[in-house]
Chains A and B, each alone.
Chain A
Amino acid sequence: MTNRRSGPPKRRSGPPRQPMAIIAVCMLGVLVLLAVFAPVLWGEEAVAADPDAIALPPSGEHPLGTDKLGRDILLRTLVATRLSLVMAVAATLMGGCIGLALGALPAVLGTRAQRWFASVISTWLAFPVLLVAMLTVILLGPGTTTAVVALALTMTPSFARLAQTLSSRVGGSEYLAAARMLGVSRRRQFTRYVLPNIAEPVIVNVTTSIGGGLLALSSLSFLGVGVQPPDFDWGRLLSEGFGQVYNSPVAAIGPGVAVVFAGLAFSMLGESLAAQLRNREHGRALPPRRLGPAPVAERPARTPAETERAETEAAPLLDVDGLSVSFPGPDGWIRPVQDVSFRILPGEIVGVVGESGSGKSVTMMSIAQLAPAGAAVTARRLRFDGEDLTGRTPAEAGRVLGTRVGVVFQDSLTALNPALRVGTQLAEIPRVHGGAGRAKAHEMAVRALDDVRIPDAARRAQQFPHEFSGGMRQRALIAMSQIGSPSLIIADEPTTALDVTVQRRVLALLRRECAESGAAAIVVSHDVAVLAELCGRLLVMYAGRIVEDVDIALLATPERLAHPYTRALAASLPDLGTDRTKPLVTIPGEPPDLSRPVTGCAFAARCAFATDDCRTEVPVLTEHRHGGRVACRHPQDAMATDAAPGREEVGA
């Protein structure tokens, strides 16, 4: 079924400038320099015993004092950097590689291998970390290699679980299925399909783990099962310094600080890598200070004629003028909805059609005060049932709307809480907004379910959403939107996920509910035929603006439609009478990328009738001779009488 993406378009951002990343890289640089040069510069001095300077407290010559053999503790700490880091990195990489193989390989092997690998990982994870480490030490005897192996073995299962979780998503993906069907070898499936798609989170995790590994290795050495004399790492130094902690506490603090410093460096590096990945996925928005105020519609307020009409016309239920919705983006505001104006009369059913990214859902959800997080909604006028909603916070406006606006969402599975019984969820509304008692509210919920023809409503109310079929769930959502007796229903793609026969029942139900209760409705859909059956009026949106507002009956006679886009849309879908010998009508090109400003008419690039002024100036939505409104310099309905364009390609 269709899975439409709405909301702001995503963009990649440039290189990040996070202070944390810079600090982490600097700290790591210091560590690497020390690891490379310290043993060369001070290696001999750090191991040379000096009988004249045994266990000295800190002094100018020995800033951290000396140990029991008279060796300088500061130099020893600096020299130990190499061994400590090499051990930590080696152990983590070893654990990472084994874990990756265990966790990710099954994605390209059969289901039996997957089960086998999964049980190995779970069993391994079940062993306590310390137990694994101790067993390794007992089996291999204490020493540097033992410590590294022990740590790698304790780290392996958690990396494996991570790789397993990530790669199972790739394993079930259609692109891997496609690769398998192409006959791509398993080795290539692993290296080109699985690994690149799980690499980033694994790398982040490994980096962060090096810090933890360093700490664990130091603990092993501190306990005496790790590095053995005459070798020394920070843990060993810590253990030696601990012996003289009463007369020279600095002796233990030096290596301790080194462990903390290195641990922090790796953790911070891992965190900033993770942050960079997040930003690349979602685009890093500019901070509010650089974004400036949210954009508002450029067009001046209503002309005197419009104002006059607005006042003489029957009072609208919903009056929207100059509505814009903007999102913070990497180069400033992204404007998926710009200067949208329309009115809904009581009892009217209005359809909103447009392609993905046209802003149709964002517009209607913003009016219902359900705009996505981060959205800035501005409007010259936004009145519902005579009450002004501009200047209120979404929460306040939401209270004004209360139960007078009901919303039907597209995906009934996510719109209903899976953990609550359907009846309980419906009863919530009269309980919260109407102050009804528990029994009364439940009774209302059952009646609402019965109203949408859900058989055996009393029993069904006791069931959970997953026990309902898709069509039943959508009906329950309609019941939910109806329960507060709203005067406006906003339905966002209410039947997109449904089969045609179920779709027709749900649409008929919605139509009947409106006819009986006198409620108005706004129905958002990408399918113009669905709206043709259901609605009385059609708003056509393209690239964030309304391009045509027209009586639905005109759809049956497409030559009377004015905007080239509406005409193409009405003609582009094959119906049961389409001439099979001719190619289908198509609209050339693609909708514009709204993350970049569009000059002029957004449809101009795909329009056969566009002239130069179309490309420079945005056409204004104005009253048109067909009784509605259109935003186009070259409306096509007049020409229809002398040269009726058939089903040939519009544009091209």
Chain B
Amino acid sequence: MAELVIEDLVVTFGHRHRAFNAVDGVSLTVPHGTIVGLVGESGSGKSTVARTVAGLQRATSGRITLDGDDLLRTRGVDRRRRARDVQMIFQDPYSSLNPRMTVGETIEEALTTHGDLDGRRRAASVRELLDLVRLKPAVAGQYPSQISGGMRQRVAIARCLAVRPRLIVADEITSALDASVQGAVLNLIRDLQRELELSMIFITHNLAAVRYIADTTVVMSRGRVVEHGDSEEIVANPRQPYTRALVSAIPRIEHAGTDHLLRFADEEGLR
């Protein structure tokens, strides 16, 4: 695992007078073996940062380096080497797994692309990876349509780990899952991060999840970094008005049975 440094990243969409900067001068660091949370609302540019780091989106300007290696340089770089730099886990496990490949084939694909394992060792590796994400070996023979959403997301995590990437980008990986499964996936990510010392960018709109899982948190709004600091500290004592608004808007179980929303409606002049 390695240290990722993003310096003054700009990503522009559109041309000339219709151009706008989806990412507008973002700088952040993911130190070795830590999870950095990236939060913000839709349109904040957090997913664009993720896709640029993962190589799915071209940067307009700026630098992204992983232990000093330039990730934005694409020419003359072996795609398999690049694959071992950064891997991404997608939001929706319904669409990030090939419906025509079994779970075992999906994980094997990642293994064979990055090493010439013989059949027996490959099968053993698949079993190990499934075990790592707390899935039974029998799942290897099933197709994505035959398993639940939570299990699919575990398969996607296993596929990503098969490559042993230096950095993992996790883009809203729990938001398509049911409440009772979200916690299990968050637990898994946290355990794996400790076991394997993963470096990770964890993107989400859920501040509670990011507070639980990330060491430091970066809050983004309109393509810029608004606030940056220790996750617990940011949620407990947000310094910027935007972060404060985000934190106070989170629905809370403690508000059950109070007329909290009506008071808010009054304050906001909604009546």
Partner among A196, A502, A512 whose Cβ is within 8 Å of the Cβ of B270: A512
**Interface check A62, CB cutoff 8 A:** no
B211-A533 in contact (CB<8A): no
A500-B205 in contact given A174-B92, A511-B261, A583-B190 (Cβ < 8 Å)? yes
**Interface check A355, CB cutoff 8 A:** yes
**Interface check A73, CB cutoff 8 A:** no
Complex Cα gap A551–B86 (Å)? 48
**Interface check A173, CB cutoff 8 A:** yes
B212-A584 in contact (CB<8A): yes
Contact residues on A (Cβ < 8 Å of other chain), bracket: 35 or more
Q: Which residues of A contact B236 (CB under 8 A)?
A: 576
Q: Give the size of the chain B interface in residues (CB under 8 angstroms).
A: 78
**Interface check B148, CB cutoff 8 A:** yes
What does the 1/0 interface line of A450-464 toward B look like (CB < 8 Å)? 000100000000000
Q: Which residues of A contact B63 (CB under 8 A)?
A: none
**Interface check B124, CB cutoff 8 A:** no
Complex Cα gap A505–B271 (Å)? 12
Partner among B98, B183, B271 whose Cβ is within 8 Å of the Cβ of A512: B271
- Which among B84, B191, B208, B212 has the highest number of chain A CB atoms within 10 Å? B212
- Which among B156, B261, B264 has the highest number of chain A CB atoms within 10 Å? B261
B264-A504 in contact (CB<8A): yes
Min C-beta distance of B176 to chain A, whole Å: 6
Min C-beta distance of B49 to chain A, whole Å: 16
**Interface check B116, CB cutoff 8 A:** no
Partner among B78, B179, B255 whose Cβ is within 8 Å of the Cβ of A532: B255
Q: Which residues of A contact B257 (CB under 8 A)?
A: 532, 536, 551-556
Give the contacts of A394-441 with B (CB-CB under 8 A). none
Min C-beta distance of A571 to chain B, whole Å: 9
A508-B150 in contact given A3-B176, A178-B159, A578-B208 (Cβ < 8 Å)? no
Q: Which residues of A contact B151 (CB under 8 A)?
A: 590
**Interface check A627, CB cutoff 8 A:** no
What does the 1/0 interface line of A546-573 toward B look like (CB < 8 Å)? 0000011111101000000000111011
A508-B54 in contact (CB<8A): no
**Interface check A466, CB cutoff 8 A:** no
**Interface check A184, CB cutoff 8 A:** yes
Complex Cα gap A508–B184 (Å)? 31
Partner among A1, A175, A504, A576 whose Cβ is within 8 Å of the Cβ of B98: A175
A532-B41 in contact (CB<8A): no
B98-A584 in contact (CB<8A): no
A526-B92 in contact (CB<8A): no
Give the contacts of B166-217 with A (CB-CB under 8 A). 175-176, 178-184, 186-187, 190-191, 205, 207-209, 211-212
Give the contacts of B138-173 with A (CB-CB under 8 A). 148-151, 156, 159, 163
Partner among B96, B100, B250 whose Cβ is within 8 Å of the Cβ of A500: B250
Across the two chains, which residue of chain B brings its CB closest to A572? B183
Q: Which residues of B contact A574 (CB under 8 A)?
A: 183, 186, 208-209, 211-212
Min C-beta distance of A111 to chain B, whole Å: 11
Complex Cα gap A517–B176 (Å)? 35
Q: Which residues of A contact B208 (CB under 8 A)?
A: 573-576, 578
**Interface check A228, CB cutoff 8 A:** no
**Interface check A69, CB cutoff 8 A:** no
Q: Which residues of B contact A512 (CB under 8 A)?
A: 261-262, 265, 270-271
A533-B100 in contact (CB<8A): no
A568-B180 in contact (CB<8A): yes
**Interface check B256, CB cutoff 8 A:** yes
Q: Which residues of A contact B82 (CB under 8 A)?
A: 183
**Interface check A356, CB cutoff 8 A:** yes
**Interface check B114, CB cutoff 8 A:** yes
A556-B41 in contact (CB<8A): no
B41-A576 in contact (CB<8A): no
B87-A181 in contact (CB<8A): yes
Q: Which residues of A contact B178 (CB under 8 A)?
A: 355-356, 526, 591
Partner among A499, A515, A587 whose Cβ is within 8 Å of the Cβ of B41: A499
B232-A181 in contact (CB<8A): no
A526-B179 in contact given A181-B54, A512-B262 (Cβ < 8 Å)? yes
Partner among B41, B250, B256, B264 whose Cβ is within 8 Å of the Cβ of A508: B264
Across the two chains, which residue of chain B brings its CB closest to A495? B251
Partner among B92, B180, B235, B253 whose Cβ is within 8 Å of the Cβ of A556: B253
Q: Which residues of B contact A554 (CB under 8 A)?
A: 256-257
Complex Cα gap A185–B211 (Å)? 38
- Which among A515, A553, A584 has the highest number of chain B CB atoms within 10 Å? A584
A500-B246 in contact given A527-B179, A576-B207 (Cβ < 8 Å)? yes
**Interface check A182, CB cutoff 8 A:** yes
Across the two chains, which residue of chain B brings its CB closest to A650? B180
Main secondary structure of the interface of A (DSSP, over half): helix
Partner among B87, B92, B256 whose Cβ is within 8 Å of the Cβ of A552: B256
Min C-beta distance of A528 to chain B, whole Å: 7
Min C-beta distance of A564 to chain B, whole Å: 12
Across the two chains, which residue of chain A brings its CB closest to B88? A181
Q: Which residues of B contact A556 (CB under 8 A)?
A: 253-257
**Interface check B97, CB cutoff 8 A:** yes
Complex Cα gap A587–B185 (Å)? 12
What does the 1/0 interface line of A174-194 toward B look like (CB < 8 Å)? 110111111111001000110
A580-B90 in contact given A355-B178, A573-B182 (Cβ < 8 Å)? no
Give the contacts of B72-100 with A (CB-CB under 8 A). 78-84, 86-88, 90, 92, 94-100
What does the 1/0 interface line of A193-222 toward B look like (CB < 8 Å)? 100110000000000000000000000000
A509-B110 in contact (CB<8A): no
Partner among B42, B97, B179 whose Cβ is within 8 Å of the Cβ of A355: B179
**Interface check A534, CB cutoff 8 A:** yes
**Interface check B252, CB cutoff 8 A:** yes
Complex Cα gap A197–B207 (Å)? 37
B109-A503 in contact (CB<8A): no
Complex Cα gap A175–B42 (Å)? 23
Partner among A356, A516, A555 whose Cβ is within 8 Å of the Cβ of B253: A555
**Interface check A264, CB cutoff 8 A:** no
**Interface check B19, CB cutoff 8 A:** no
Q: Which residues of B contact A583 (CB under 8 A)?
A: 187, 190-191
Complex Cα gap A266–B120 (Å)? 45
Q: Which residues of A contact B99 (CB under 8 A)?
A: 175, 197
Partner among A175, A511, A529, A580 whose Cβ is within 8 Å of the Cβ of B265: A511
B95-A174 in contact (CB<8A): yes
A181-B252 in contact (CB<8A): no
Q: Which residues of B contact A183 (CB under 8 A)?
A: 78-84, 113-114, 163
Give the contacts of B204-253 with A (CB-CB under 8 A). 205, 207-209, 211-212, 232, 235-236, 245-247, 249-253
Q: Which residues of A contact B80 (CB under 8 A)?
A: 183
Complex Cα gap A502–B180 (Å)? 25
Complex Cα gap A529–B205 (Å)? 15
A532-B163 in contact (CB<8A): no
**Interface check B268, CB cutoff 8 A:** yes
**Interface check B117, CB cutoff 8 A:** no
**Interface check A2, CB cutoff 8 A:** yes
Q: Which residues of A contact B25 (CB under 8 A)?
A: none
- Given contacts A356-B149, A553-B256, list 16 more A-B pairs with CB under 8 A: A2-B175, A174-B92, A180-B79, A182-B163, A196-B100, A500-B251, A503-B249, A504-B249, A508-B262, A508-B264, A512-B261, A568-B180, A570-B253, A576-B235, A576-B250, A590-B181
* Residues of B bordering A, CB below 8 Å: 41-42, 54-56, 78-84, 86-88, 90, 92, 94-101, 109-110, 113-114, 148-151, 156, 159, 163, 175-176, 178-184, 186-187, 190-191, 205, 207-209, 211-212, 232, 235-236, 245-247, 249-257, 260-262, 264-265, 268, 270-271
Q: Could you jot down 18 A-B contacts, CB within 8 Å?
A: A174-B90, A178-B97, A179-B98, A196-B98, A355-B178, A499-B205, A500-B205, A502-B41, A505-B270, A507-B261, A527-B251, A534-B261, A573-B208, A576-B208, A576-B252, A583-B187, A583-B191, A584-B184
